[in-house]
């Protein structure tokens, strides 16, 4: 179908074939993009429903918030209050931030909970991308294995699938942590959110390629300074 249909092609039939093949390529890419977008959102909503069901009458041991887009930190803090303020880890924060400036930058109304959050929040300043967010979270958990077993990861809905893929790949076989995921729902009628999920499709494909090609005998070190094949920033630290 993509090749020649005639032994002796004219210029007109050749151009027609090129145009038809180009349209088929564009249509295939559009279908792949649509399927990936739907899959990314569907996975996030399924994971959120699963987390809500699991924590219906109990709280997670830790709420881990992956920074990068607006709405994640307020949503995570709100969930921590709903679950009677379990410990909170915010990973991927600029070094100039303190708990006060972080709360103030997200929503000044959050300062009323300063006394509650002051003793609940652990801030990670080192993570610069999603891989390092995951490494920072695992490192924190492994240092506190007697305290934390169930973890609720908070991020944007378009980000959840990629976090889960990376986490499943990096997590050691002897880790005994149970991860759940929850996200605020994104309004995809806004142009900035359409662009965000478009970028996420590309990042997810890169991640899948990275995970498929990575040699299993070459382990990823549990070190936040580790150079990775996905070192380009994929989540922007929260700014004041």
Domain extent listing, the chain: 11-213
Out of 9-23, 148-162, 199-213, pick the least confident. Answer: 9-23
Task: For residue 98, count CB atoms less than 10 angstroms from its CB and return exposed for 0-12, middle for 13-18, buried for 19 or more.
Answer: exposed
Q: Is residue 226 predicted with pLDDT exceeding 50?
A: no
pLDDT of residue 11: 77
Q: Please give the pLDDT value at position 229.
A: 44
- Does residue 89 have a pLDDT over 90? yes
Per-residue pLDDT at 112 exceeds 90: no
Residues comprising the chain, all counted: 240
Q: Pick the more confident residue, 14 or 56.
A: 56
Average pLDDT of the chain to the nearest whole number: 83
Instruction: Please answer whether residues 183 and 152 qualify as being in contact, where contact means their C-beta atoms are separated by less than 8 angstroms.
Output: no
Task: Determine whether domain 11-213 maps to CATH 3.40.50.620.
Answer: yes
Q: Which of 15-19, 39-43, 152-156 has the lowest mean pLDDT?
A: 15-19
Average pLDDT over residues 200-206: 92
Res. 88: pLDDT tops 70:
yes
C-alpha to C-alpha distance for 42 and 23, rounded to whole angstroms = 28
pLDDT at 17 over 90: no
Please tell me the predicted confidence (pLDDT) of residue 228. 44
- Report the interhelical angle of 99-106 vs 72-82 (nearest 10°): 110
Position 2 scores a pLDDT of 52
- Determine the pLDDT at residue 136: 94
pLDDT score at 7: 58
Nearest to 125 by CA among 51, 224, 219: 224
Quote the pLDDT of residue 26: 93
CB 105 within 8 A of CB 237: no
Q: Which pLDDT score, from 0 to 100, does residue 120 have?
A: 86
Percent of the chain with pLDDT over 70: 85
- Whether residue 206 is predicted with pLDDT greater than 70 in this model: the reply is yes
- pLDDT reading at 60 higher than 70: yes
Asked if 159 and 130 count as a contact pair (C-beta separation under 8 A), the reply is: yes
- Retrieve residue 37's tokens: 């977008």
pLDDT band at 144 (very low <50, low <70, confident <90, very high): confident
Q: Among candidates 75, 108, 71, which has minimal Cα distance to 238?
A: 71
Phi, psi of 97 (to 5 degrees): -90, 145
pLDDT tier at 3, thresholds 50, 70, 90: low
């Amino acid at each position: 179908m993509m090749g020649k249909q005639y032994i002796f092609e004219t210029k007109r039939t050749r151009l027609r074939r090129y145009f038809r093949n180009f349209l088929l390529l564009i249509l295939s890419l559009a279908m792949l993009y649509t399927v990936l977008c739907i899959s990314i959102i569907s996975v996030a909503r399924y994971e959120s429903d699963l987390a809500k069901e699991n924590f219906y009458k109990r709280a997670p041991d830790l709420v881990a918030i992956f920074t990068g887009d607006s709405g994640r930190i307020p949503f995570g803090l709100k969930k921590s209050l709903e679950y009677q303020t379990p410990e909170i880890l915010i990973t991927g924060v600029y070094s100039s931030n303190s708990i006060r400036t972080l709360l103030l930058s997200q929503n000044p109304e959050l300062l009323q909970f300063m006394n509650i959050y002051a003793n609940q929040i652990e801030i990670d300043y080192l993570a610069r991308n999603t891989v390092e967010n995951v490494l920072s979270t695992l490192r924190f958990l492994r240092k506190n294995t007697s305290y934390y077993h169930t973890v609720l990861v908070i991020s944007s809905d378009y980000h959840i699938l990629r976090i889960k893929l990376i986490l499943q790949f990096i997590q050691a076989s002897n880790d005994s942590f149970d991860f759940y995921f929850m996200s605020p729902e994104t309004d995809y009628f806004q142009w900035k959110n359409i662009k965000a999920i478009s970028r996420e499709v590309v990042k997810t494909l890169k991640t899948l390629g990275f995970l498929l090609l990575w040699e299993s005998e070459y382990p990823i070190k549990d070190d936040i300074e580790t150079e990775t094949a996905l070192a380009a920033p994929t989540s922007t630290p929260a700014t004041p």
